[in-house]
Amino acid sequence: MIVAGMSGGVDSAVSALLLRELGLDVVGVFMKNWDEEEDGVCAATRDYDDVRRTCDTIGIPYYTVNFAKEYYDRVFAHCLREFEAGRTPNPDVLCNREIKFDAFLKFAEGIGAEKIATGHFVRTDDGGRLLKGTDANKDQSYFLYMLKSEQLRRAVFPVGGMTKREVREIARRANLPVSEKKDSTGICFIGERRFKPFLQKYFNAEKGDIVTPDGTIIGRHDGLMYYTIGQRRGLGVGGKGGGEGRRFVVAKDTRNNRLIVEQNERSELLYSSEVKLTDITWIAREPPAHSFRCAAKFRYRQPDQVVTVTLTETGATVRACEPQRAVTPGQSAVLYDGEVCLGGGIVSDS
């Protein structure tokens, strides 16, 4: 039996369909990981209804499991601590490690499943290596770099070798009710939210000064957790209508609660040639070498950047051949050897 994680979207729907067409015993399972209502309607209820209709069309049984407590304790609480510290976390990365490929995988094994299936655009090989998805624009290996080979061997990714266009065409031919459903965006399992009002429910943010690099005060910020490196919208200081006057966040001074902005989009303060990583994880559990050359992505969908990685006592130092713009503490730097994802770490400093 294969347990297919069903999100209510087209990718997971087609994954389940393809497995069923191979004659495999497939069970669809919807994970409810967030209980809050939005505009009086629980988004999870809408997604589950799409899962129910999809599974009926495919002809497979379906169930729901609730991991809301696990998600809050193991993913969301961590992200809140990161925001409070002035960093910008990536909840999708943690969600994959802690929920989809841990809590969900254990649930599936507990009901006798041989493997789990998801709609991620990635591939694997017999050695348990994680490979980029065929569709470069949809490749999601960036979000799965924290997994281990053992977990990958127990998972299948039916759409990883396809393009998004091919996935939608399969959904249309099979008359799946989600064939035209818009791709989900926003925070993993929480969805699209207005960022600042959402976080305001969890913080009593301390306002502070917005300053230029020389310390000149030019405005006030609403709380450092609401801003990220490279941001230019919503600052409320100059640059109305764009042009040379617009300002960009180049740093956060957490000790003095100051947001540092610069007027030049090409400011040297926005670029980094050396990045410090902590919380290093390797899919094969061991790094390729103490020091090695590879490619890196410092954000999702970024083209591969040539770097040299040197391991340290606390993590690794990554030196890029070309200066990298807006490398953000709390985000992930993911390392590659060609199509193979090696692992990665959390940016602590740049």
The residues that are catalytic are 95, 188
Axis-axis angle for helices 43-58, 10-21 (nearest 10): 20
Reduce the DSSP state of residue 45 to 3 states and report it: helix
Q: Which two tokens stand for residue 19?
A: 């497995």
Query: Is 211:258 a contact under the CB 8 Å cutoff?
Result: yes
Q: How many residues does the chain have?
A: 350
Q: Are the CB atoms for 35 and 11 separated by under 8 Å?
A: no
89/97 Cα distance (integer angstroms)? 14
Q: Which residues are registered as beta bridge partners of 333?
A: 345
> What is the CA angle 338-299-144, rounded to 5?
65
Residues 6 or more apart in contact with residue 88 via CB below 8 angstroms: 82, 228, 229, 328, 329, 330, 331
